[in-house]
Structure 1
C-alpha cells in the first residue's frame, strides 16, 4: 500500500511540475483592450474636443496665502526620540526648518516662472485633460527624434525640467536630437484625474500613446521611471510598431518566471553576474519590508490617507519628503535629512507645491490600488508577454529594485544597452540630469543601430 501511495504522490508532483512549467513559460495571447475607454466625468459627446491649448502654471496668491496660514497654524510637532534621526520616519527637527523655508523663503512666483520656461499645453484624451510639456529643438541638418517622458509618484512632468534642455540640444558625436514631450500622468500634477475605477498602468499607457497620436507622432521613443515605467512597459508590449525604443531607470520584469529565476540564482549568486551583490543575498531585500508600509496603505486605502494629506500641507510635506528621501538614499536614515541631501530643496518643494495646489494627493495615489488590488487580469497577462521593442536600462545604486540583465531579458529580449552605476537613486532626472541625458542619447544611438540592422535582414 505504501508503495502505491508513493507512486501516487510522485505522479501528482510530476503532473503539477509539468503544469507549472507550462504555465510559467507559455506566452499568453495579447488581451483584447479597448483603446478608447472614456475616463471623463462628463458624458461622452459626439463631437469631442481635440484642441491643444496653451497652459500656464500659476501659484495664485489666494492659494499661497492659505498654504502659509495653514503652516503657521500647525500644531507643535512631536520631537524625535533621543538618538533617533530618521529611523522612525521624517525627523521633525528637519521638517520644522523645511516648513519655515517653504513658508518664508521659497519663492512661489519665481518657481512658477521657472516651470513656465518650457511651453506647456493641455488636451483632452479619452475625456481627461492631460497636461504636458513639449519642447522642439531649434536645429538644422540634424535628425529630430520624438521622445515621450513619463514620471512616477509623487512627481509630475516637473521631474524632467533639468534634463529637457540637455536632450533638446545637439550633442557632439550624435547625428540626432530629441523633441521632448513630458506628460503628467492622469491624476498627477496638472492632469485631470478620473472619477471611474480601473485606470491602471495598462490603461494609462494607452492614454499616453493616444496623446502622442494626438500630437501627430506615429513612431516615437519613450523614457520612463517608477509608475511611468510600468505604464511604458505595457505600452511597448501593446504598441511595438509605434514605440521605436524604450529607455528606463527602473527596469523590471514582473513575471512569475523572472521571480523563480531570481530565487534559483540565490543558490549560486556568484555565477549570476558581476553585480550579484545588488541582489544577493536575498535577505538584504528585507529593507523593502521596512519601507513598504506606505505602498500597502496606498494600495488598499488611498482615500483614507488622502484626507489628511489634502487638508494639511505639513502632513503632505512630511509624507512626500520622507519617501523621496528614502528613494534617493535609503542608507542615510541615520541623518536628519534621511537621504534627501542629493536633491535640491526647491525641486522637492516644487513637487510638494504642485500636489498641494492641484489637490491631487488622492488621485495620484490611487494608481497603487488600481494596479495591485483592483487590477484586471490584463495586467498580469501583459507582464508575461515579452516585447520586441529595443530597450535600454540605466540602473542606479539606490533604485527601489534591481534586476540583472538575464532576468530583464525575460520581458525585454532586445535589451540593447544596460548601465549599472554605483551612485544615484530613484529620482534620476532630478538628481543626475546630465548622467541620465547622456545615457538616453547613447540608448537612442543603439535603438537606431537596432532598427537599421533589422531593415537589412
Structure 2
C-alpha cells in the first residue's frame, strides 16, 4: 500500500484524482496499464449496453407476443369422472313453478324482521328498510311469478352436460332473415348479481332489428347461458371453478351448437369470461364486445393521481377527466364504498350465503342494493335508491326469483372466491393481452371508467371505443337499444376491415 501511495504521490494529481484517472492496483499487487483499464471499461460498457438493448428488445417482443391460454379439460360434477363418454345431447328445458314454491315464499316474506333505518340515511347505509317494505309488499301481494315464468319461456331454453355440469342456456334465432343471409352467432354472458334475464330486452334488437327501428344489415342469433352455479346451470362440486373453466365450457357449448366462429359479448364476470374465450381460442372468436374491462395491470393506471393535471400527456380526453375526477371521490372512495361485498365473497362466501339462501327479503335487499348504486352512484342520496327510475319491479323481482327458486346465491358468490381468492394477478390470463378484434362501450355510470388507452393496452386490436350517452353497470338490462346499436357498430367496422 505504501508503494501505491508513493507512486500516486508521484502523479501530478491527488490520490483520488489519480485513481479516477485509471491509476489502478490489482488485488495481486501489480499495476494495470491505464490503456488496459480503458479497454476493460469499454468492455463493461459494451456488456451493459448490450444487456439494456436486449432487455428493451425482449420487452417489446414479449409485450406483443400473441400468447394463448392452454385449452385443457375438466370435470366439475360430483365424484370421479365416469369412464364412459359424456352425454352430449341438447335437451329442451322449460322454467316451471308450483303453488308450493309460491306459498313457501309468501310464508317466509310474512315472517321477515326489518330494522328501522336511521333518520335521513337514504341508501348511505345500504338498502333503506322503509323502501324495502314497499318492495316486499308488492312482491307478496301483486307480483305474479306465474306470469313471469311465462315471460321467461317466451324464448327457447335448453340444457346440455359439459364437463360434468348441466349447462342451461337460451338460444334465440331470428324470426325472419333477408334472402340469402345467415345470422351472426353471438354469445352473451351475464355477471353477478345478474342473470340471463338481463338480455331479454336486448335480444329483439339483435335478432329482429328491422322490426325495432334498426337496419337489417346485421342480424344475430343469440345464445345466453347461465354461468355454472347461477340460476339453472348446475354448480361445480369441486374447488377451482373459475372464469377460465367457464370460458372453456361456453366454447364447447358453441361448438356443440355447430358454431366454429362466433362473436362474444359481456359485462361484469361476462366480460372476463368472454375475454378468456378470446385468450383460449382466438381463431374461433370473430369479435369481442365488452361493456366492462378488467385492465388494472397497465402502466396507465399508475397515472391516475396525475391524470387530471396532465391529461393530454397521458392520452386522456376531456370526457375521461369528467368521469374519473376528482380522483378521491370518483375512484378511491367509490371503490371503497362498493367493494365490501367483494371482500366477503372472495373470502367467506358460504357464511353470508347461508343467510341469503334462507331469507328471500334478505336476498332481495342484498341484490337490489347493487341495482341501485351500480346503476348510478348518486342514487344512494335517494330514499328509494332510484330503483324504479331505470327498472320495473317485475323485472327486478324476476331476477331475484332466479336466485331464490334455484337456491343459487351461495354458489354464485363462490365464483368470487375461485377467481379472486388466490391474490392479485395470481392467474396467467390476468397478465396476458387479447389479440382478437375488440369493441368497447364505456357507459358513464360504470363503477370504474376505463379510458380508451387503458382498454387498448389490454386489447391491442381495439377497433371501436364508444362513450355512451347514459347508463351504468347493467347495460343490457338498463339501456338495451344503446348497447345493441354499439354491438352493431362494432361488427360493421370489423366486417369493413
TM-score exceeds 0.5: yes
Q: Select which of 90, 108, 117 maps to 1:52.
A: 90
Pairing 1:433–2:489 present: no
Rounded to whole Å, the distance in 2 between the matches of 1:352 and 1:382 is: 31
Shift, 1:388, TM fit:
1.8
What runs of 5+ residues in structure 1 fail to find an aligned partner? 1-14, 451-457
RMSD of the alignment, in Å? 2.4
Structure 2 counterpart of 1:3: none
- Over residues 44-76 of structure 1, what are the superposed CA-to-partner deviations in whole Å (9 max), with x where a residue is unaligned? 23121101000001122211110110001122x
Query: Given that residues 68 and 279 in structure 2 are in contact (C-alpha distance below 8 angstroms), is that contact kept between their aligned partners in structure 1?
Result: no
Aligned position for 1:446: 493
Deviation of 1:99 after TM superposition, in Å, equals 0.6
Measure, in 1, the Cα distance between the counterparts of 2:367 and 2:57.
42
Aligned residues: 433
CA spacing shift, 1:19–1:83, aligned 2, 3 Å: farther
Q: Deviations over 1:142-197 (max 9, x none)?
A: 33100000000012111101111111014454423001001111111110110111
Where in structure 2 are there 5+ consecutive unaligned residues? Answer: 1-50
2:334 touches 2:447 (CA, 8 Å); kept in 1? no
Match of 1:413 in 2: 460
Contact conserved, 1:383 with 1:411, CA < 8 A, in 2? no
Equivalence for 1:66: 104
1:150 aligns with 2:189: yes
Of 143-152 and 331-340, the range deviating more from structure 2:
331-340
Structure-2 change in CA distance of 1:394 and 1:365 (3 Å): same
TM-score normalised by length of structure 1:
0.89
1:261, distance to aligned residue in structure 2 (A): 4.7
Cα distance change, pair 19–79 in 1 and its aligned pair in 2 (3 A): farther
CA contact (8 A) 1:30 1:382 kept: no
Q: Alpha-carbon deviations, 1:223-256, whole Å to 9, x = none?
A: 1010010111111122110110011111332324
- Determine the C-alpha separation between the residues in 1 that align with 2:185 and 2:71: 25
| Greater C-alpha radius of gyration | 2
Give yes or no for the alignment of 1:179 onto 2:226: no
Question: Which residue is equivalent to 1:162?
Answer: 201
2:411 corresponding residue in structure 1: 363
User: Does the C-alpha gap of structure 1 residues 30 and 429 become closer, same or farther in structure 2, counting only changes over 3 Å?
Assistant: same
Once the two structures are overlaid, the 10-residue window that deviates more, 421-430 or 308-317, is 421-430
- Aligned partner of 1:373 among 401, 421, 427: 421
> Is the 1:174–1:445 contact (alpha carbons within 8 Å) kept by the matching residues of 2?
no
Distance 1:178 1:373, change over 3 A: same
Report the TM-score when normalising by structure 2: 0.82
